[in-house]
Structure 1
């Protein structure tokens, strides 16, 4: 199957966390996104809801407090996004701490994708005012929030260890190396046992 490389810039911490979640399910970014793109092409919509995790009402931040006389009093505000905090101006009524944000640590997400799937997905997203980069960030955040792929998103038919079409050359080499180690250590099962296991997991009809 012919594939082309797709590079997307994404927050490195988010990328690593989502990669771990997907790996626990026997998947990778490439296989998950390939399934997502094909679903978008088929349904011509974003097949998952964009939402923040549920927050208890008592923990919901309020921008200001209403006094008894009907005026608003701005609470002490701390903008904390890094370890370096600078305090500007001090008064008897209010003190505001301002923190300078660190620049997000971004990395490159490389995936192999069918060129036709990439072209069609790009065109559909463009009509919606979206880009592939933004879509990947959105689905990554939803996976981070729920610790799983959204239920409305179709999962790949087979896990990455069974489908070389979704793997890079480096990933195939890693799997082969792991297989050689298992062979040397005698961690083997018969073909009959393997087929039964695949049937139980729904990977073989």
Structure 2
């Protein structure tokens, strides 16, 4: 099957956390996003509710996180001039100058392989919604982080990265191969001939 590389910028900590959650379920970002994108194409919508995790009133953000207009402010870090200017024997004045700046999230690159038709159609549909693929990946990643699971309304992929040694032990792989052989003997699923013919169509 022909695939193309898709690069998405995402918060590195979020990427690592979600990757671990998916790995525990035998999935990868590629398999999860492939299923999500195909569902977006089929249903022409984001197939899950976007919501923050439920919190108690005690956990509600305090007024100190709001500015005078009632708007949340980006967290800031402070740096004293004396913290930065300490070379060449420089001394600080009586009143230190404090510099404030926005904290910048550490971002990384998420690389996935995807069917070019799926990429094109998903990009077009999301554009009509005012979204990009990067934004959509971040949204679904945050939902997985909140619930420690894939949103229940996303159809889990029928195939899993079983041949990836980073996801499965040899014992797990052998067990799944046996399950597949037993299903084949009982006539469950498509024949090998049909599967290979379908794959050849994409070559």
The TM tier, using the shorter chain, reads 0.5 to 0.7
- Residue 20 of structure 1 pairs with residue 20 of structure 2: yes
Instruction: Show structure 2 runs of 5+ residues with no match.
Output: 81-98, 190-203
Distance (whole Å) between structure 1 residues aligned to residue 135 and residue 173 of structure 2:
43
Q: Residue in 2 aligned with 1:5?
A: 5
CA drift of 1:58 comes to: 2.7
Distance (whole Å) between structure 2 residues aligned to residue 20 and residue 58 of structure 1:
30
Distance (whole Å) between structure 1 residues aligned to residue 100 and residue 137 of structure 2:
29
Instruction: Show structure 1 runs of 5+ residues with no match.
Output: 65-72, 87-97, 163-171
Q: What is the aligned length?
A: 162
Cα displacement string for residues 101-151 of structure 1 (whole angstroms, at most 9, x for unaligned residues): 432111000000000000000000010000000000000000000000000
Q: Would the alpha carbon gap of residues 127 and 81 (structure 1) be closer, same or farther in structure 2, given more than 3 Å must change?
A: same
Q: Residue in 2 aligned with 1:194?
A: 178
Distance (whole Å) between structure 2 residues aligned to residue 57 and residue 20 of structure 1:
30
Q: Residue in 1 aligned with 2:134?
A: 133
Q: Residue in 2 aligned with 1:30?
A: 30
Cα displacement string for residues 126-181 of structure 1 (whole angstroms, at most 9, x for unaligned residues): 1000000000000000000000000001111022115xxxxxxxxx5x56xx87xx
Q: Residue in 1 aligned with 2:156?
A: 155
CA-atom RMSD, angstroms? 3.6
Q: Residue in 2 aligned with 1:166?
A: none
For normalisation by structure 1, the TM-score amounts to 0.66
Bigger relative contact order, structure 1 or 2 (CA pairs below 8 A, ≥6 apart): 2
Distance (whole Å) between structure 2 residues aligned to residue 16 and residue 136 of structure 1:
13
Q: Residue in 1 aligned with 2:113?
A: 112
For normalisation by structure 2, the TM-score amounts to 0.67
